[in-house]
Amino acid sequence: MKKVFNLGFILMLSITLMSSMCSSDDDDGTPNNNSQQIAEIENDVQSGTWRITSFIDSGQNETSDFSGYDFSFNSDGSLVATNGTNTQTGTWSITDDDSSDDDSSSDDDIDFNISFPTPSNSNFEDLNDDWDIVTSTSTRIELIDISGGNGGTDTLIFEKN
């Protein structure tokens, strides 16, 4: 009887130790929490209008495609780009990317999501992506995306008007 008890105890202890040794995907065991930084960026972009000062699409400078456009990031998630004559309406959001569902080398980055429902031949379709935020201030946001298809790197910079 004593051997059965000892064997059962050792088995339970082994299972307990093995399960406590399992680690999460995070190196330090704490979940990523970028909520404060996300809130700050959201407040910054919702203030005033913005313009694209640089757009490099797989090595090609396409900044001029958006010359004269002012971008408004509205609190309801709508994104409006207008040049006085033409207006494009889309959506935007900022999300905490704690997974590897994009092509970032980091799995705890913040994504700046842009979506314009336009035809594939529209210049605005090139902006549609879950961009990684490289740097962000109250007057400048630098974004990057590494394409999963061709491995090209796209960069997009917004500056406040």
Q: What angle do CA 62, 133, 115 make, to 5 degrees?
A: 60
Domains, the chain: 36-160 (2.40.128.270)
pLDDT at 23 over 80: no
pLDDT at 26 over 50: no
pLDDT at 40 over 50: yes
88 confidence band (pLDDT: 50, 70, 90): very high
Q: Which range in 10-24, 43-57, 103-117, 147-161 is most confidently predicted, on average pLDDT? A: 43-57
pLDDT score at 148 = 66
Q: Which of 161, 159, 160, 157 is nearest to 62 (CA)?
A: 157
Contact 139, 157 (CB under 8 A): no
Q: Which of 72, 49, 82, 69 is nearest to 160 (CA)?
A: 49
